[in-house]
Structure 1
Amino acid sequence: MEIKTVSIIGLGALGILFGHHLAKRMPQGDLRIIADQERIRKYEKDSVYCNGERCEFSYIEPEEAGEPADLVVFAVKYNGLKDAVQAVKNQVGEHTIILSALNGITSETIIGQTYGMDRILYCIAQGMDAVKVDNRLTYDHMGMLVFGEREPGVISERVKRVAHFLESKAVPFEAVTDMNKRIWGKFMLNVGVNQTVAVYESNYGEIQKMGAARDTMISAMKEVMVLSEKEGISLIETDLEYWLNVLDHLSPEGKPSMRQDLEAKRFSEVELFSGAVLELGKKHHVSTPVNEELYRRIKELEGRY
């Protein structure tokens, strides 16, 4: 069954980036942006821009009935996931495939509690250096979507359907057979990069060079490596090197989402990162001092709002 219609919920950096790319390559109406009435009014009044181009999006409200989408993409922040799960109910049908591009290691399970794990492919977005200020997004590197089944070693028909669609729309992607390790690897990267750049009030350039910030980042990532072994994932040094290489190819002027959140005085996803590390540390009786300090510092910054 060919994928023809796509619904995206969330117009943060990822939603705008991939939404704008698809909107230029799909018939109008086949790509739907799901948003409530208030947000739609704001988007239509102020417009949304990607690298200086006005995004031509078709918006629909959650209550609007119609044919379910072939593919639903979650691109919200974690604190908006619960509402987003309910907002896409009219977009999910018997043959709908769901991708979650959220950070962290739990969103697929949360979505699956409502729609069933049989509709979900595990997914991460990596390699983008997008910066969003108000209604304008800029990026140098688009990055890619990496996805696959939860079970290792399998390239299913669903994976092939999504791969065929993305290839036809020139969306960079990788279909893989080790998604558990990829998700944990991206989690390790986020724990190190997002939190370090936020605490050092800097950008990717600060952690791409040798120094205290890069040392902090790598130490935080190594704490995740220890926990991954306890969870049966077992990230190793070559995984660390892979993700550091991804980081080192980003625009030095770019900033991760947590840094952008703190600059805008928004509450961050710290509970997804060091918050989750601290909980796993308690579970496995593993010391996580670097993440404890990052958690404390980020909470301190948020406490000044």
Structure 2
Amino acid sequence: MNIVILGPGAIGSLYAYHLDQAGHSVSVWGSRHDQYHEFSLDNQSAISLVNRSLSHLEQCELLIITLKAWQVETAITPLLDALANDTIILFLHNGMGCVDLVAEQLQGHPILLGTSTHGALKRDRHHIEHTGRGQTLIGAWNQQGERCQFVSDVMHHAFAECGWTNSIQSALWQKLAINCAINPLTALHRCRNGDLGTPHFETELSAIISEVHQVMQAERIDLPLAALTETVQTVLKATAANFSSMQQDIEHQRKSEIEFITGYVLKIAKHHHIEVPNNQRLYCAIKDIESSWSNHE
């Protein structure tokens, strides 16, 4: 397939590398204006992919979006006119709510949503490290997307495990709950994921997860609270040595994805008239930190 990766950061480059090695025609569209995106993955040989090619965009059959959630609307809007009407668009990013912002502009395109539990780290411009092996789940956002189940087979062949799900919203909400539990706390306490597994955070974690679970129930996501709690604990143990993406963003004074993680929960909770004070507090704390940077400039 002719594939373009919009957002060749750590995760985007991880997928780009494997898809290229599987024989697909892969290019990237990044914020830098370099003609090529050259990088290596772990100890493997370096590859060079074309960057920001309009002709590649016009021939694109699958556009994979691996940006930060807050970057999606601004980045994809200028590219839509160049895409063919039947170009498949796969949103593969943290958080929820991005597609809603550009829904009208995407009419006619097959739209897929995905979630990944892979971990990747950009050591520098030219070196990507695969820090945690996981899986990719893909599902349809619209009716046209329902005919594109083969994309999961393409992805699986290049980078197993990848599967198709008819309940992608459930998978996305589970990932959102994990992010709500881990990301803001690790950012505020400047700690690794595993530190949240200590008794000190037990009560707070439980309250956060319980609130998100209430919102999930209102959204008709059928998952027992005990199962959701166990999932969060499993992720904490599996990624114990890792720093969350939000922790790294706050540490380096970069805009975080809080608006599309905890902020999305707050938005849906308000719609259902559900009180979520613990998540509200974390949201405000992260927003206060971000606003303090601009105040000091």
Please indicate, yes or no, whether the TM-score normalized by the shorter chain is above 0.5: yes
User: 1:122-141, aligned counterparts within 5 Å?
Assistant: 122-126=113-117, 128-135=118-125, 136-141=127-132
Indicate which of 78, 81, 87 corresponds to 2:72.
Answer: 81
**Mapped partners of 1:180, 1:66: distance in 2:** 28
Runs of 5+ unmatched residues, structure 2: none
**TM-score, length of structure 2 as denominator length:** 0.85
Q: How does the TM-score come out when normalised to structure 1?
A: 0.83
- Paired residue for 2:257? 269
Residue 188 of structure 2 is aligned with which of 186, 199, 203?
199
Distance 1:133 1:106, change over 3 A: same
The match for 1:33 is: 28
- The one-character-per-residue Cα deviations of 1:162-207 (angstroms, maximum 9, x if unpaired) are 1221232243212112111111111111111111211121112212
Give the superposition deviation at 1:50. Answer: 3.2
Q: Which 4+ stretches in 1 moved above 6 angstroms? A: none
- Kindly tell me: are residues 93 and 50 of structure 1, through their superposed partners in 2, closer, same or farther at Cα, counting changes over 3 Å? same
Distance 2:45 2:186 in 1: 30
Partners of 2:36 and 2:195 in 1: how far apart? 34
Residue 60, structure 1, aligned to residue 51, structure 2? yes
Point out where structure 1 has 5 or more consecutive residues left out of the alignment. Answer: none
2:28 counterpart SS class: strand
Residue from 4, 7, 25 that aligns with 2:4: 7
Report the 3-state secondary structure (helix = DSSP H, G, I; strand = E; otherwise coil) of the residue aligned with 2:60: coil
Q: 1:239 to 1:90 in 2, by over 3 A?
A: farther
3-state DSSP of counterpart to 1:121: strand
Query: What is the distance in 2 between the residues matched to 1:199 and 1:55?
Result: 36
Residue 166 (structure 1) aligned with residue 152 (structure 2): no
1:1-305 correspondence to structure 2 within 5 Å: 4-26=1-23, 30-36=25-31, 39-41=32-34, 47-53=38-44, 55-61=46-52, 63-64=54-55, 67-89=58-80, 92-116=83-107, 119-126=110-117, 128-135=118-125, 136-150=127-141, 156-159=146-149, 161-207=150-196, 209-237=197-225, 239-241=227-229, 243-244=231-232, 246-248=234-236, 250-305=238-293
Cα gap change, 1:261 to 1:141, in 2 (>3 Å): same
Structure 1 residue 83, shift from structure 2 partner: 2.3
Query: Aligned letter for 1:281?
Result: A
Q: Percent of aligned pairs with the same residue?
A: 21
Q: Is the 8 A contact 1:15 1:75 kept in 2?
A: yes
Q: Deviations over 1:85-142 (max 9, x none)?
A: 124326632332211012222123334321226510221112x232334434323323
- Cα RMSD of the aligned pairs, angstroms, is 2.8
Deviation at 1:150, TM superposition (A): 4.0
| Structure 2 residue matching 1:285: 3-state secondary structure | coil
Kept in 1: contact 2:89–2:109 (CA 8 A): no
Aligned-partner Cα distance in 2 for 1:62–1:289: 47
